[in-house]
Amino acid sequence: MPRHSRAAAALLALAAAHAGKVCAAETPSVETPASASRYTLTANLTLASQYRYRGLMQSNNKPAIQGGFDLAHASGFYLGNWNSSISWLDDADSRVSAPVEMDVYGGYKGNLARDVPVDLGVLQYYYPGDYPSHFTSPDTTELYAGIGYGPFMFKYSIALTNLFGFADSKYSQYFDLSGNLDTGVWGLTLNAHIGRQAVRNVDNGSYVDWKLGLTKDVGQNLSVSLAYLDTNADRAVYTNSRGRDMGRATGLLSLTKTF
């Protein structure tokens, strides 16, 4: 089986397994129509021309398959799982075999006032695979807090562990300002983002990333997005073993189905 097919199969299997665990953990032992309605389970599946995270290549400019599940309670508390095929760890070290990223998160969403949402939670990035001895684990745990106003959202994240395999990088931070504005034209939504990744104890490891794009809802819970992304990441730090600048400018096309 080709490598990308193995990654996709592993992704879907892992996502399905986790979804089952989440549902079992969160469903009340005695379920009535009234109590059942307090829980909402949604799912999503995305095909993307590539996977970029915080502006950096995760799939070496190759297509990615992504998907996840979210379980929300009427009180505002939620649990979720999101997964993607990746290659960035293999691209960094040929001795590594880690084709999937699995994210598990939980938190609380509410409103301080009208048009002022808040989002507090914890996120675990997990990269199952085979690693050589003494390899710094890429697994990362972050706490996050977000506050919004209208179509804009500011989110702050801090790593409680090393950040994505950087040694001695605990307490690295990410600052994210994003907005999604209805253009009023052809049902298009304008997506804008600017972020700063501050990496502790890594010379020239910190950088800024930005995105500008459009999303179109085409019906049947299906949406198409096209975006331009770029960063000012230092090439000396963020060039993989295949000689590719992980933070260079790119276009990204994705198709997402929600259930």
Say if residues 79 and 71 touch (Cβ distance below 8 Å).
Answer: yes
Measured between alpha carbons, how far is 213 from 44 in angstroms, rounded to an integer?
20
- Supply the pLDDT for residue 228: 98
Residue 18: exposure state from Cβ atoms within 10 A (0-12, 13-18, ≥19): buried
Whose CA is closest to 196, among 174, 211, 213?
174
Beta bridge partners of 121: 107, 144
State the DSSP code for 221.
T
Type and span of the H or E element at 226: strand 222-231
Report H helices in the chain: 3-26, 33-36, 88-92
- Which residues lie across from 152 on neighbouring strands? 149, 179
**In degrees to the nearest 10, what's the CA dihedral of 128, 200, 88, 208?**
130
Name the DSSP letter for residue 127: -
Using DSSP, state whether 25 is helix, strand or coil.
helix
Q: Which domain holds residue 253?
A: 3-258
Domain count, the chain: 1
pLDDT tens digit at each of 259 positions of the chain: 443 434 444 443 433 434 343 333 333 444 445 555 899 999 999 999 999 999 999 999 999 999 999 999 999 999 999 999 999 999 999 999 999 999 999 999 999 999 999 999 999 999 999 999 989 999 999 999 999 999 999 999 999 999 999 999 999 999 999 999 999 999 999 999 999 999 999 999 999 999 999 999 999 999 999 999 999 999 999 999 999 999 999 999 999 999 9
What CATH number did the domain enclosing 27 receive?
2.40.160.40
224 contacts 240 by C-beta, under 8 angstroms: no
Quick one: tokens of 224?
A: 């198409």
Q: Which two tokens stand for residue 221?
A: 């819970």
Q: Helix, strand, or coil here: 118?
A: strand
What letter would DSSP give residue 43? E
Instruction: Return the number of other C-beta atoms located less than 10 Å from residue 125's C-beta.
Output: 20
CB atoms within 10 A of CB 189: 17
In this prediction the pTM is 0.85
Alpha helices in 87-199 (DSSP H): 88-92
Residue 4: its pLDDT value, please?
40
Residues 6+ apart with CB under 8 A from 2: none
Q: Report the greatest alpha carbon distance in the chain.
A: 58
